[in-house]
Amino acid sequence: MSSLQLSGLASGFDWKTFVDQMIGLERSSGGRMEAEIATNQMKLTALSGVETRIGDLRKAMAALDVDGLFEGRSATSSATGWSVSAGSTASPGTYAFNVTQRATAAAWKGAAGLGASITDSADVSGVTLASMGTALAPTAGVFTVNGARVTVALGDSLQDVFDNISTATSGDVTAAYDPGTDKVTLTSGSGPVVLGSATDTSNFLQALRLSNNGAASTTSSAALGAISPTATLSGARLPAAITAVDGSGAGSFTLNGVSIAYNVNTDSLNQVMARINASSAGVTASYDAAEDRVVLLNRTTGDVGFALSEAPGGLLGALGLTTTAGASLERGKNAQFTVNGGPVLSSASNTLDEKAHGVSGLSVTAPEASGATTVTVAADTGSVRTKIDAFIGAFNSLQSYIDNQTKVTSSNGKVTAATLAGNREIQNWTGQLRNAVFASVPGLSATLSRLDHIGIDFSGTDANLVVKSASKLETALKERPSEVSAFFRQSTTGMADRLEALFTSYVGAFGTSGLLGGQRTALTKTNASLTQQIADLDRRLEQRRSQLETSFIAMEQAQSTIQQMQSQLTNAFSVGTTSKK
C-alpha cells in the first residue's frame, strides 16, 4: 500500500508536484503578509532610531536648562597648590591673595609621663622584661654595650640584665635604677658608654630610652613607666584610681557637650579614644607613646578651645587631661591673609570663603605652606559652550536621521523610497523643530532674541545648525549671560519649553506615548494580526494538503485495482484462445 503513495506510480500522473503547486498558489497571500511584516519591522526600527535621537536632543536641551549655568564662573590660580572656585555671584576680575599664616588646630595635651613607675624600689630583681610596663615593650635577643654583646630573654628580671651587662663588659659598665626618677643609668669606668651595633636584635636599649651621649654615663631620656592603652582602665597602670564610677565600674565625662561613657572594668584606653573619635565632639583623641600622654586635637582649625567636664575622681583626671592634673592647651592659629594689598584678615579655616574676605561666591584654599597667588575669576564660557555644542550635535543628528528615513530618491529612472518615506507626520517634524529653534523669543532685547544673535545659524547648504560666529557667541556668554539664559530658559516661550512641548507631542513625557508611540503601537498590532493570519493560513493549507494527498492516494489505489483486473482478464482470454488451437 505504501508504494501507492509514490506520485503517479499507478496513474502515471505526478500528483505530488500538482499538490505542491496548488498549495504554493494558495500560500502566495501568506508571502505577501510576511513581506508586510518585514516592512513594518523596518519601520519600527526606524521609529526607534527617531525616538533615541529625540531622547538625546531632549537631554542636551535639559543640560542647558539649569539654574546658574549661564552665570557660571571659572576661577584659576597663578600659583600651584591652591584650590580655587567661584560661584555665579562672584564678580569677574583678579584678586591677589597673600597668606602669611596658615590656620592650625588647637591641641589639649595631657600630662606627660602618665604611667606609674616600673617599680617603687631600686631593687629590680622582681621586675621582668615581660611585665616591666614601658611604653615600648622590650624584645628578646642581643644588644651591645661598649662592643660587648648582651643576650636577654623576656623572662629575665631587670637585675638579671644589669648583671649580664656587667659580666659582658668585665665589670666596666654598671647599671642602676632610680625609683625617684623612674630612669636607668649606665656608667662606664673606662670612658664613654657606647651603645648598640648593626647586629643588635633586641630593642632593649630603645625600650629603656637609652642613647649615646659621648659621656661616661647615660640615663633614660624620660621616665620608663607608661600606661597600657590596650589593658582595661582598671589595670592600665594609671597614676590615680578612677573613683567616679558606679558599682559596675561605669562612668562618663563630657567633651564639647558630648557625653562619653566608659567602664573601667571592660574598656581600654584605646576603646575610649575610639569612642571619642566616633562621636560628634569634633575631636580626635590619640595616645603619644613617646611622651606617655593623651592628646586631644580639634578636627577644625582655628584658635578655639575645648570644653571638658567630669566629676572629681573621673577618667579625665586619671589621664592627666584636667588642668589640675597638668594638662595644657596648645592654642590653634587662625589664618592671616590680605586681599589686593588690603588690611590683614583672619580666618579660622585655611579655606578662605566670602565670609572671610568679602568677595561674593569666591573660595580660596591655601596650600600647605604660606604664600601668595593671583586668582582670576571669569565667566565660565567653556562649560556652557560644551553644552551648546552637544545640543547642536544632537539637533543635527535628529534632523539628518529623519531626512534619511523619509527621503525618496531617483537614479536612472529608478525611484527608491526610504523606510518612512510615506510617513508625513515624522517628515514634518524636521520643519517643526527648525521653526522652534529659530523663532524669536518674545520679551527679549531685539539684539538677543534669536539664535543667530548669538552666532548660531543654519549652515546654508543643509538643515544643520552651526556656530557661524564663535566670537559673537563668546561675547554674548561673557557680556550678556542673563539674556542668553532667558533665550533658552524663559518660561513657556524660551527655546527649552518650546522644544519640550514638541517632544511631549512626539514621544510623550517619558518617551512611551505621543504620536510616535501611537505609530509603534499600531505597527506592532498589525504585525501581531498578520502573524496570526499566516499561522491560520498555514494550518488550513496543511489540512488541504492532507486532503488532496489522501484523494490522490485513493485514486492511485483505484487505478491500481483496475489495472490488476484488466491484467487478469487479459490473461484469462489469452489462455482460452490458445486452447482452441
3-state DSSP of 89-128: CCCCEEEEEEEEECCCCCEEECCCCCCCCCCCCCCCCCCE
pLDDT confidence bin for 580, thresholds 50/70/90: very low
Q: Tell me which of 379, 406, 440 is where a domain ends.
A: 379
**For the ranges 458-472, 493-507, 547-561, the one whose mean pLDDT is highest:** 493-507
Verdict on whether the full-model pTM lies above 0.75:
no
Check whether 8 has a pLDDT greater than 60: no
Strands 328-330 and 107-109: antiparallel
Cβ pair 436, 391 in contact under 8 A: no
Residue 461 placed within a domain: no
CA 262 to centroid of chain Cα atoms: 37
pLDDT confidence bin for 397, thresholds 50/70/90: very high
CA 401 to centroid of chain Cα atoms: 35
Residue 536 placed within a domain: no
Q: Which residue has the higher pLDDT, 186 or 509?
A: 186
Cβ pair 333, 104 in contact under 8 A: yes
Check whether 19 has a pLDDT greater than 90: no
CA atoms within 13 A on the CB side of 451: 20
541-556: average pLDDT: 82
Length of the chain: 581
Check whether 510 has a pLDDT greater than 70: no
pLDDT confidence bin for 554, thresholds 50/70/90: confident
Check whether 4 has a pLDDT greater than 70: no
14-25: average pLDDT: 78
Nearest 5°: the CA angle 126, 129, 130 is 100
- Residues 152 and 177 both lie in one domain: yes
The mean predicted confidence, pLDDT, of the chain is 91
Residue 581: predicted pLDDT? 45
pLDDT confidence bin for 104, thresholds 50/70/90: very high
- Residues 156 and 190 both lie in one domain: yes
The cell for 339 is: 586681599
> Which residues is 339 bridged to in the sheet?
97
- Residues 286 and 263 both lie in one domain: yes
- Residues 212 and 246 both lie in one domain: no
- Residues 347 and 323 both lie in one domain: no
Cα distance between residue 509 and residue 501, in whole Å: 9
**pLDDT tens track for 254-294:** 999 999 999 999 999 999 999 999 999 999 999 998 889 99
pLDDT confidence bin for 12, thresholds 50/70/90: low
pLDDT confidence bin for 418, thresholds 50/70/90: very high
- Residues 212 and 260 both lie in one domain: no
Cβ pair 191, 173 in contact under 8 A: no
Cβ pair 203, 139 in contact under 8 A: yes
Cα distance between residue 502 and residue 499, in whole Å: 5
Q: Amino acid identity, residue 236?
A: A
Residue 350 placed within a domain: yes
DSSP 469: -
Residue 198: predicted pLDDT? 95
Residue 453 placed within a domain: no
Which residue's C-alpha cell is 539684539? 447
Sort 466 into a burial class: Cβ within 10 Å, 0-12 / 13-18 / 19+: middle
- Structural domain harbouring 160: 136-219
Residue 47 placed within a domain: no
- The angle, 0 to 180 degrees and rounded to 10, between the axes of the packed helices 381-406 and 15-64 is 160
Name the domain count of the chain: 3
Strands 183-188 and 217-219: antiparallel
Kindly state the percentage of the chain with pLDDT values over 70: 96
For residue 311, the SS3 value is: coil
Rounding to the nearest 10 degrees, give the CA dihedral for residues 406, 410, 416, 419.
-10
Q: Is the dihedral of CA 556, 561, 564, 565 positive or negative?
A: negative
pLDDT confidence bin for 96, thresholds 50/70/90: very high
Residue 545 placed within a domain: no
Residue 1: predicted pLDDT? 43
The cell for 420 is: 518612512
- Residues 279 and 294 both lie in one domain: yes
- Residues 291 and 323 both lie in one domain: yes
3-state DSSP of 342-388: CCCEEECCCEECHHHHCCCCEEEECCCCCEEEEEEEEECHHHHHHHH
**pLDDT tens track for 289-316:** 888 999 999 999 999 999 999 999 999 9
pLDDT confidence bin for 3, thresholds 50/70/90: very low
pLDDT confidence bin for 484, thresholds 50/70/90: very high
Residue 24: predicted pLDDT? 76
Check whether 354 has a pLDDT greater than 80: yes
Check whether 29 has a pLDDT greater than 90: no
Residue 154 placed within a domain: yes
**pLDDT tens track for 380-392:** 999 999 999 999 9
Q: Which residue has the higher pLDDT, 144 or 240?
A: 144
CB atoms within 10 A of CB 335: 23
Q: Which residue has the higher pLDDT, 13 or 215?
A: 215
565-578: average pLDDT: 74
- Residues 321 and 342 both lie in one domain: no
Q: Tell me which of 186, 219, 252 is where a domain ends.
A: 219
Q: Which residue has the higher pLDDT, 205 or 573?
A: 205
- Residues 339 and 326 both lie in one domain: no
pLDDT confidence bin for 7, thresholds 50/70/90: low
- Residues 271 and 346 both lie in one domain: no
Check whether 576 has a pLDDT greater than 80: no
**DSSP sequence for 402-468:** HHHHH-EEEETTEEEE-TTTT-HHHHHHHHHHHHHHHSPPTTS-TTSSSGGGGTEEE-SSSS-EEES
Cα distance between residue 261 and residue 222, in whole Å: 32
- Residues 99 and 147 both lie in one domain: no
Residue 289 placed within a domain: yes
Cα distance between residue 317 and residue 208, in whole Å: 27
Q: Tell me which of 151, 185, 219 is where a domain ends.
A: 219
Nearest to 294 by CA among 95, 114, 36, 459: 114
| Per-residue burial over 46-55, b = 16 or more CB atoms within 10 Å of its CB, e = otherwise | bbebbbebbb
Residue 557: predicted pLDDT? 80
Cβ pair 444, 483 in contact under 8 A: yes
**pLDDT tens track for 525-536:** 999 998 898 888
Residue 511: predicted pLDDT? 55
